[in-house]
């Protein structure tokens, strides 16, 4: 027996992944900054500004630079940007807008927990811009309404977009957390199955040998010693299995031995025979072509079924049949034990539950229950097609 090479163990996000996320964030910040500078200068030039270095370009550069830290200090960036636009309008008579030059800052700040303050700042800016543009009323009321209402609608759109982005990000975080929890639960379940299969089989076989040793210790000390040696051999193999499993959990699968598969069925049968159970193994088809996940599952099913036979059924004989078919692998373990004499059905413990989970994960089916002459476990696992 050997511990898992394929046991799923989650690893924290790698440094390269975190670096990629940070890199993408900086690219977004730089893109917002460049876009703000280019659009602000282009609009100013397009509306008749003849000396862009006298206020337009410095303001555009300031708005762009502060956006580089927008994710770290969103409210500070918003307040500085709004203040800069106020100063610019106080010093220059300009057609430049009030809200759109700081659109990126509003969008970013609206996605934080201080969205109410973002709205307050925006309304204050809108009120001041409406008062500042009152001279338009006498010349063109339509232009004034378009100016004030347009700025208001833009502010509402930016706040809504920021809230939607934040909600989407939170949903993504919740989904990732749920996936992580589900993965962690599956890993715990996988570890529990591996430990149970190893320990249950070992205890069943060792228990039989210890009973033999106890019964023959006085009259047949040599037989008792042989039984103890067999128990010790099984125990040593189980310890090797568990140590390798622990190594996987601590350090990852690199360098560990592969999981036991159909090639190790002979060892399981030998253990059961040494414990006094007359086991016959039948193999049909080329078992070496069975894919690794299904091969490991077959081994564990046989291991758990024989352990249950030794512990519970009072059987003297068992048959293990494994078949490789074109599109599936079948395994059947039957014994001549007592089965379910009560007729009340099978009460599944961790062993049967673990077997059923293994098979279900691979898309197969498993049945377990009383048979005509004892107890039977049957499983069918779909696999890729191959010639029989």
Of all helices (H) and strands (E), which one includes residue 371?
strand 365-371
- Strand partners of residue 328: 382
- How distant is the alpha carbon of residue 41 from its chain centre? 47
- Tally the C-alpha atoms within 13 A of residue 47's C-alpha that lie toward its C-beta: 13
Mean pLDDT by 10 residues, the chain (388 residues): 42 51 75 84 73 80 88 90 85 71 87 88 85 72 77 89 87 78 69 63 65 73 74 68 61 56 87 85 90 87 86 84 92 82 50 81 88 87 69
DSSP state of 289: G
Does the pTM surpass 0.75? The reply is no
Exposed (0-12), middle (13-18) or buried (19+): which is 368, by Cβ within 10 Å?
buried
**Distance (Å, whole) CA 362 – CA 357:** 9
Which of 137, 45, 139 minimizes the C-alpha distance to 95?
Answer: 45
Decide: helix, strand or coil at residue 379.
Answer: strand
CB 335 within 8 A of CB 374: yes
C-alpha separations of 183 from 11, 177, 188, 220 in Å: 11, 10, 9, 53
User: With the CA atoms of 298, 303, 304 and 307 taken in that order, what torsion angle do they form, in degrees rounded to the nearest 10?
Assistant: 160
Strand bridging mode 365-371 / 374-382: antiparallel
State residue 10's pLDDT score. 46
How confident is the model over 248-303, as pLDDT tens digits?
555 555 444 567 888 889 888 888 888 788 999 999 988 888 888 888 889 989 98
Query: What H or E segment, with its residue span, contains residue 362?
Result: none
Query: Residue 217 phi/psi, 5° resolution?
Result: -60, -40
What are the structural domains, with CATH classification, of the chain? Answer: 15-132 (no CATH), 259-388 (3.30.565.10)
Burial class (CB in 10 A: 0-12, 13-18, 19+), 170: exposed
Inter-residue contact 37 to 60 (CB < 8 Å):
yes
What confidence score (pLDDT) does residue 193 get? 64
pLDDT at 256: 47
The Cα–Cα gap between 209 and 228 comes to: 6
Please report, in angstroms and rounded to a whole number, the separation of the first and last CA atoms in the chain.
28
- Tell me whether residue 318 is exposed, middle or buried, using C-beta atoms within 10 angstroms of its C-beta: 0 to 12, 13 to 18, 19 or more: buried
Spatial contact of 29 and 71, defined as CB atoms under 8 Å apart:
yes
Q: How many helices (H) and strands (E) does the chain have?
A: 11, 5
User: Considering only CA atoms, which of 354, 303, 312, 371 is closest in space to residue 331?
Assistant: 303
Calculate Rg over the CA atoms of the chain. Answer: 37
- Residue closest to 42 by CA, chosen among 92, 101, 91: 101
């Amino acid at each position: 027996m050997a511990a898992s090479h394929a046991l799923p163990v989650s690893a924290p996000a790698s440094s390269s992944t975190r670096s990629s996320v940070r890199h993408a964030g900086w690219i977004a910040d730089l893109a917002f900054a460049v876009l703000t500078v280019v659009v602000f200068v282009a609009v100013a030039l397009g509306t008749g500004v003849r000396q862009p270095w006298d206020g337009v370009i410095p303001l555009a550069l300031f708005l762009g630079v502060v956006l580089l830290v927008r994710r770290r200090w969103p409210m500070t960036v918003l307040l500085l940007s709004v203040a800069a636009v106020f100063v610019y309008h106080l010093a220059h008579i300009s057609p430049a807008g009030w809200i759109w030059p700081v659109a990126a800052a509003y969008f970013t700040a609206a996605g934080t927990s201080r969205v109410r303050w973002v709205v307050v700042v925006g309304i204050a800016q809108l009120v001041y811009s409406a008062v500042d543009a009152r001279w338009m009323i006498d010349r063109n009321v339509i232009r004034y309404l378009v100016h004030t209402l347009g700025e208001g609608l833009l502010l509402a759109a930016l706040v809504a977009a920021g809230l939607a982005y934040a909600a989407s990000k939170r949903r993504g975080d919740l989904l990732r957390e749920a996936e992580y929890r589900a993965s962690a639960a599956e890993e715990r379940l996988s570890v529990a199955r591996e430990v149970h299969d190893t320990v249950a089989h070992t205890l069943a076989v060792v228990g039989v040998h210890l009973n033999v040793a106890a019964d023959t210790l006085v009259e047949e000390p040599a037989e008792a010693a042989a039984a103890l040696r067999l128990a010790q051999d099984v125990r040593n193999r189980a310890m090797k299995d568990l140590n390798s499993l622990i190594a996987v959990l601590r350090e990852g699968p690199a360098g560990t031995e592969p999981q036991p598969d159909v090639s190790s069925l002979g060892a399981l049968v030998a253990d059961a025979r040494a414990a006094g159970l007359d086991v016959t193994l039948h193999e049909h088809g080329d078992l070496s072509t069975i894919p690794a996940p299904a091969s490991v599952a077959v081994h564990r099913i046989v291991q758990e079924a024989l352990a249950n036979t030794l512990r519970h059924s009072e059987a003297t004989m068992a048959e293990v049949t494994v078949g490789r078919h074109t599109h599936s692998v079948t395994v059947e373990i039957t014994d001549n034990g007592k089965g379910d004499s009560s007729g009340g059905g099978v009460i599944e413990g961790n062993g049967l539950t673990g077997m059923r989970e293994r098979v279900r994960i691979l898309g197969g089916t498993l049945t377990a229950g009383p048979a005509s002459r004892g107890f039977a476990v049957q499983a069918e696992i779909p696999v890729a097609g191959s010639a029989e």
